[in-house]
Amino acid sequence: MSSTIDRTVIARKLIIAAIGLVLLVSSGVSFYRSRHLKEPVVLGPGVTGVSRLGDYFADIKGSVNDSNIYFLDSKQPGATILVLGGSHPEEPAGRIVPWMLVENAVMTKGRLIVALSTNRSATTSTRPSGAYPPDFSIPTAWGEQTFRMGDRWSNPLDQWPDPEVYIHYPSGQYLAYVDIRNVNRTWPGRPNGTLTEKTAYAFMRLIEQEHVDIVVDLHEAELQYPVISTIVTHQRGRDLAAMVSMTLTDLDGFKIGCEFSPKNLHGLSHREIGDFSPAISLLFETPEPFLDATRGKTTTEQLLTGKDEFVVKAGQHGLLYEKIDEKGWPIAVRVGRHTSSVAQVMQTWTEDHPDEPIEALNIPRYREVIQHGVGYYLRDPSKGPAARVVYE
């Protein structure tokens, strides 16, 4: 009798353990695939070189954040602009636009430097308890291109533990503990700091060594966040940002504001890059309902269409800082705003600095991106020469 009970108990434990093992393996495989998903980049005709972030700061070399840095050099005199994508990878328009630049843009004057994964570690995990999809795909004429979903913060597997309070260096300002893994709270970085601080420090060395004149940091924001549909500029970039804002609103047909970076809010690119380098720093925000706390189901469809009835409802109650209706905020609209913004920054800068121009071909404007869709501007990696395909 006793041995029968023992066998029953053992069988029960084995079944429960097997179910646990299935859950462990299935979730583990999903997490592993997401972390190691290879994202192809087809180097467009304008790309003249690819270096690594670690080339500017040895401590980053070989780390998860030793990301690719793309150079599009016209070989003609002019200024240098750096476009940062993927500071917050969960804001996909901010990552896709630099992709389109690398795969399409050709500089005719000056130089463009692009980072697709400013915080690459943050591309390798999703928000705990956020129910985020592990990746998302953009349809193209040749199939789909899949991107890691990513998060706002560096992967805890790469940087842990978080402190009780994050004390920003060098200001000493107290910030939320988790933001010690947020690259847009760690500028200008610290050479002996955390991975995220070292990453910002490496970018500062890049800005310094490559004599960057303008830094554009591309983001998206939830509609419940007041800093949305705007350019945030360091005070040295106010004339440029104001003119870009007015021109985009007038000519491209979408409203984008302009506001100054608060002098006492530290760690952000629009504040610290301007304070700690000669470069003008601008940060662009476009609406992303996927990030809103009041959103409904967190799906890839919601991410790409920007449609969400719950966020619409929040808007009807006056809880949002940006409009939304049943049309949502499709990814083409958000990407188009950013491509137009980057192109307009170059154009306005050149008008103000004719002796230091930055001119480019093949950067689509807002209406073109909406007309053709985002996938139209992504290249088929199977068609590109192997030597011209790299991975993020």
Partner 1 sequence: MTIVTILYLGLAAYAAFFMIYNFVKSKKWEEEALYVIVLIPFLLRIFGLK
6, 7, 11, 13: residue in contact with partner 1 (rule CB under 8 A): 13
154 binds partner 1 (CB under 8 A): no
Binding piece for partner 1, criterion CB under 8 A, among 48-56, 155-163, 201-209, 260-268: 155-163
131 binds partner 1 (CB under 8 A): no
Eight-state DSSP code of residue 55 = G
The rounded distance, in Å, linking the Cα atoms of 103 and 344 is 19
177 binds partner 1 (CB under 8 A): no
Question: What's the CA angle centered on 53, arms 275 and 345, to 5 degrees?
Answer: 50
Q: Which is nearer to partner 1, 2 or 264 (CB)?
A: 2
58 binds partner 1 (CB under 8 A): no
Q: Which is nearer to partner 1, 18 or 293 (CB)?
A: 18
11, 23, 176, 319: residue in contact with partner 1 (rule CB under 8 A): 23
93-104 vs 331-352: helix crossing angle, rounded to 10? 60
Q: Which is nearer to partner 1, 127 or 236 (CB)?
A: 127
Q: Which string of b and e fits 57-75 if b means at least 16 CB within 10 Å? A: bebbeebbbbbbbbbbbbe
The rounded distance, in Å, linking the Cα atoms of 350 and 107 is 13
6, 7, 11, 27: residue in contact with partner 1 (rule CB under 8 A): 27
For the chain, how far is it from start to end, CA to CA, in angstroms?
A: 62
Least Å from the CB of residue 77 to partner 1: 46
6, 7, 9, 391: residue in contact with partner 1 (rule CB under 8 A): 9
20, 62, 77, 143: residue in contact with partner 1 (rule CB under 8 A): 20
The rounded distance, in Å, linking the Cα atoms of 346 and 184 is 23
Pairing of strands 80-84, 214-221: parallel
16 binds partner 1 (CB under 8 A): yes
What six digits make up the tokens of 65? 């954040």
Q: Quick one: which of 332, 360, 335 has its CA closest to 347?
A: 360
7, 11, 32, 367: residue in contact with partner 1 (rule CB under 8 A): 32
176 binds partner 1 (CB under 8 A): no
Binding piece for partner 1, criterion CB under 8 A, among 57-65, 156-164, 282-290, 372-380: 156-164
161 binds partner 1 (CB under 8 A): yes
Q: Which is nearer to partner 1, 35 or 388 (CB)?
A: 35
Contact partners, residue 26, CB within 8 Å, separation at least 6: none
Least Å from the CB of residue 17 to partner 1: 6
Using DSSP, state whether 41 is helix, strand or coil.
strand
What count of residues does the chain have?
Answer: 392
**Positions 110 through 129 that interact with partner 1 (CB under 8 A):** 125
Least Å from the CB of residue 29 to partner 1: 9
- Residue with structure tokens 């009798």? 1
In sign, the C-alpha dihedral spanning 287, 292, 295, 300 is: positive
Q: Which is nearer to partner 1, 160 or 177 (CB)?
A: 160
Least Å from the CB of residue 296 to partner 1: 25
Contacts by residues 144-147 (CB-CB < 8 Å, ≥ 24 positions apart): 144/375, 145/39, 145/40, 145/375, 145/378, 146/37, 146/39, 147/39, 147/92, 147/95, 147/96
Least Å from the CB of residue 152 to partner 1: 17
**Positions 331 through 370 that interact with partner 1 (CB under 8 A):** none
19, 176, 293, 319: residue in contact with partner 1 (rule CB under 8 A): 19
Cβ contact 146:129 at 8 Å: no
251 binds partner 1 (CB under 8 A): no
Q: Which residues bind partner 1 (CB under 8 A)?
A: 9, 12-13, 16-17, 19-20, 23-24, 27-28, 31-32, 35, 125, 157, 160-161
